[in-house]
Chains A and B, each alone.
Chain A
Amino acid sequence: MNENLFASFITPMMFGLPLVTLIVLFPSLLFPTSSRLVNNRLISLQQWMLQLVSKTMMSIPNPKGQTWALMLMSLILFIGSTNLLGLLPHSFTPTTQLSMNLGMAIPLWAGAVITGFRNKTKASLAHFLPQGTPTPLIPMLVIIETISLFIQPVALAVRLTANITAGHLLIHLIGGATLALMSINTTTALITFIILILLTVLEFAVAMIQAYVFTLLVSLYLHDNT
């Protein structure tokens, strides 16, 4: 069991060809587009869910920020569907790869920050100094705020990676423990199995919450800069 603990995080290959591209593109097949006015149940449900999410997230930013609505809705759908698909047994989750999450976080964060510096240069620079800071603390606080700005994309990516990876590892460990305990003590195995069920339910919630948090933080950075 120990040597297979991290096997699920290795990028899958088939005949020497990486399958990551197919895996990353697969969730888009689950969201079909339709040219009909009245759609089937699946598409109606997806459209209702998308409307609910966009109402919640995009009603706050100003009109300039709302131009990012398509990008942010695609982001939350992609991360949410990828995370949920990763909960299937023996599947590979692209969002456990830090490279993938950095590839999402850095361009979005940089886009928001550059937009802010282009459109509101004064306000963007003034952001580095909180209002009301005592004079002796100004240089230190400017440096701290600069560091916290550059840490934002790293934190975004690492948060998603760590949450999903940790959840998958826990499921793997507790599942292995349940199997091992079955031959030793059935009662303990049953308790461990109940814990596994609860953990799986938690992981479903974490998968959706992490998608929401990622997108919410990107929209927050955008709101700061528009």
Chain B
Amino acid sequence: MDLDHASPLCGAGMESDCLLVRAHREAFALIEIMAGPEADAQFHFTGIKKYFNSYTLTGRMNCVLATYGSIALIVLYFKLRSKKTPAVKAT
């Protein structure tokens, strides 16, 4: 892809602008490399790995939700446990 003339904003006598634009494209290209829905088709997982993996979009989302859910459960457990524990009475 000819980056110098790819953008309609690059015109004659604006090579320096195109260099800046190219630098930005390279910086943003790193974001584009990350997997999208179209890239998920290349992975063929079975069983639980189909839903919980760190490669597909769905797998990553489920792992994140599972982590947040676990943290919420742990917090809830300790909150409820501290309510059940009776207060120490002075003798």
Residues of A within 8 A of B (CB): 52, 55-57, 59-61, 122-123, 125-126, 128-135, 138-139, 142-143, 220, 223-224
**Smallest CB–CB gap between A164 and chain B, Å?**
24
Across the interface, A142 reaches (CB within 8 A) one of B9, B24, B31, B64, namely B64
Across the interface, A133 reaches (CB within 8 A) one of B20, B54, B68, namely B54
**Smallest CB–CB gap between A53 and chain B, Å?**
10
Task: Tell whether, in the assembled complex, residue B35 and residue A131 are in contact, meaning their CB atoms are under 8 Å apart.
Answer: yes
Across the interface, A126 reaches (CB within 8 A) one of B7, B24, B60, namely B60
Task: Tell whether, in the assembled complex, residue A56 and residue B57 are in contact, meaning their CB atoms are under 8 Å apart.
Answer: no
Q: Which residue of A lies closest to B24 (CB)?
A: A60
Nearest 7 pairs of A and B residues by beta carbon: A126-B60, A133-B54, A142-B67, A129-B60, A125-B61, A128-B64, A126-B61
Q: A56-B21, A57-B24, A125-B65 are in contact. Are A132 and B9 (CB under 8 A)?
A: no
Residue numbers in B under 8 Å from A60 (CB-CB): 21, 24-25, 28
Interface residues on B, range: 20 to 34
**A122 to B64, alpha carbons, bound, how many Å?**
10
- Interface residue B34 (Cβ < 8 Å from any Cβ of A): yes
Task: Tell whether, in the assembled complex, residue B57 and residue A138 are in contact, meaning their CB atoms are under 8 Å apart.
Answer: no
The 8 A CB mask of B26-49 against A (1 = contact, 0 = none) is 011001001110000000000000
Task: Tell whether, in the assembled complex, residue B24 and residue A59 are in contact, meaning their CB atoms are under 8 Å apart.
Answer: yes
Residue numbers in B under 8 Å from A139 (CB-CB): 67, 70
